Structure 1
Amino acid sequence: MTLDLWVGLVVLSALFALEGVLPFYLGRRGRVRHAARNLGLAAIGGVVGAVLAPLWIGATQLSAQLGIGLCHWLDGLGAGCALAAFVLFDLWMYAWHRANHRISFLWRFHRVHHTDPAMDCTTALRFHPGEILLSGLANALVLVLLGMSFELLVLYKAVMVAVIALHHSNVAIPPLLDRRLRLLLVTPAIHRVHHSQIRTETDSSYGTIFSVWDRLFGSLRLRPDPEAIRFGIGRFTAPRWQGLMGLLVLPLQSEPLSGRVETA
């Protein structure tokens, strides 16, 4: 297994255990069933990711062979350029995430992630395979433009899976620690708002690893009462939509604007 898979396995296992003893939202039932549903969808997405891996490797090799992309144009900067590419790839992830909320075709796939009625660390892996395919194809072009190596991509994904598992988790992190972490990283206090049923809150706080992008582009949103947040989009809460087959066909379902809560 690659580094990102090892990190994901260890971090998810640790957080799932912590959610059982130090939960932020109390009274959660059916945790194992909920996790199994999300991990089942993640397994299908993992197959799509494995199919895309040769494309990503080919993109990094093409960039190196032709000497194109940021890291090859600024080769003399060494590790500094790799760090710049790492940060810029996270900026791309912010932009892609924001697009998934603004473009209706992309939202059809991305809303599968947002229809989870009870957010925990397994929600971090709840993505429709169609979204994974679309983002994977777009990522290949970005890899060429940045001149990233495949090893740097794997490192980014390892850090990413650790951070997104944390900020989706139902672990009761001390408020002071969350405030300090959020100066750099996306934390649970930030991302729980993003999963709110209220549309203005759903359409905010798009960061993946670094919280700076939301501050820079004015999309950061916090709430003084995170314990009162209701998760989801206000639709597709019935058991038939929360099962694996329902999640897979959900992008085919229409969603009128009246189906989403506009304000608090």
Structure 2
Amino acid sequence: METVIRLSIALGIFLIMISWEALRPRRKQSPDRKQRWPINIGLALFNMLLMRLTVGGAAYLSAVYAQEQSWGLLNIFDIQGWPAVAVTLIALDFAIYGQHVLSHKWLLLWRLHQIHHTDIAFDATTAVRFHPLEIVFSMLYKIAWILLLGADPLAVIAFEIILNGAATFNHGNVDIPERVDKMLRWLIVTPDMHRIHHSTIQVETDSNYGFSISCWDRLCGTYRAEPKQAQTDMPIGLAPFRNPEELGLANLLRLPFSALRRE
């Protein structure tokens, strides 16, 4: 049931975002959807099947187990109810920020994470463009934090929903008025804020790592307000990967095991 709830909400948010993109796009995209979407959605479906057959639902089950065994900081200090929910959501949000930074700094993880950045356009489907091994690592990483925290099980479900929804939103190719965007950035990560992270320019790629709450980038010194080029013109992706023909599904699955390309 937990999986059905999460997937239903995720699909609903995705449909809202692609409709918004069609009605009010922020950028003209190249290559078009017909070329990119089968790859991105194909990766998403493959990852869903992999999770279903392996560690799907493990985050929630880990939280239930930690609660039953009285494991983790929240159980040790007997923090329950809404305070436990709040701590769980905030701590896991920061944990994912930390994982994202680590995925850029640790070469082994970058081999996996670069698949997400090889997309040379930027829309809601980019949010699901991840190598299967990175998805598995991310789940194991979250499980470790859940056990350490003794995370509230219902808060873990809520976090997974927020994680998926926020990622779909902040990868959206949607036009938000600049004044509204600047206001929203004080609380959440907006598409214009996160698009900078997908720039081909290294110093911009190494910024704006947050996925939901925008404060972590400001507090940790990784926030960048604007790209060097205009949002509508800035190149997206990685400099060594500009040919859409070499970014097919099979090539992306093999990419972590290939020689790293710098230029």
Q: Give TM-score scaled by structure 1 length.
A: 0.92
| CA offsets 1:209-229 (integer angstroms, 9 cap, x no match) | 101000000000121622221
Greater Cα offset, 170-179 or 75-84: 75-84
Greater Cα offset, 25-34 or 95-104: 25-34
| CA offsets 1:139-182 (integer angstroms, 9 cap, x no match) | 11111011124432221111121111111010111112211111
Gaps of 5+ in 2: none
1:33 Cα offset (Å): 3.5
Alpha-carbon separation, structure 2, partners of 1:192 and 1:212: 17
| CA offsets 1:226-255 (integer angstroms, 9 cap, x no match) | 222111111233234321101111111222
Report the RMSD for the aligned CA atoms in angstroms: 1.7
Greater Cα offset, 27-36 or 99-108: 27-36
Alpha-carbon separation, structure 2, partners of 1:151 and 1:33: 39
What percentage of residue pairs aligned between the two structures are identical? 32
Correspondence 1:196 to 2:162: no
Is the Cα–Cα contact under 8 Å of residues 31 and 121 in structure 2 kept in the other structure? Answer: no
Q: Give TM-score scaled by structure 2 length.
A: 0.92
Correspondence 1:31 to 2:33: yes
Correspondence 1:145 to 2:148: yes
Gaps of 5+ in 1: 260-264
Question: In the alignment, which residue of structure 2 is the partner of 1:262?
Answer: none
1:57 Cα offset (Å): 4.1
1:68 Cα offset (Å): 1.6
Correspondence 1:176 to 2:169: no
Correspondence 1:227 to 2:232: yes
Cα distance change, pair 27–67 in 1 and its aligned pair in 2 (3 A): closer
Q: How does 1:85-104 map to 2 (within 5 A)?
A: 85-104=88-107
Greater Cα offset, 148-157 or 114-123: 148-157
Correspondence 1:237 to 2:242: yes
1:18 Cα offset (Å): 1.6
| CA offsets 1:85-113 (integer angstroms, 9 cap, x no match) | 11000000000000000000000000000
Q: How does 1:36-115 map to 2 (within 5 A)?
A: 36-50=38-52, 51-115=54-118
Local SS of the residue matching 2:87: helix
1:76 Cα offset (Å): 4.2
Local SS of the residue matching 1:2: helix
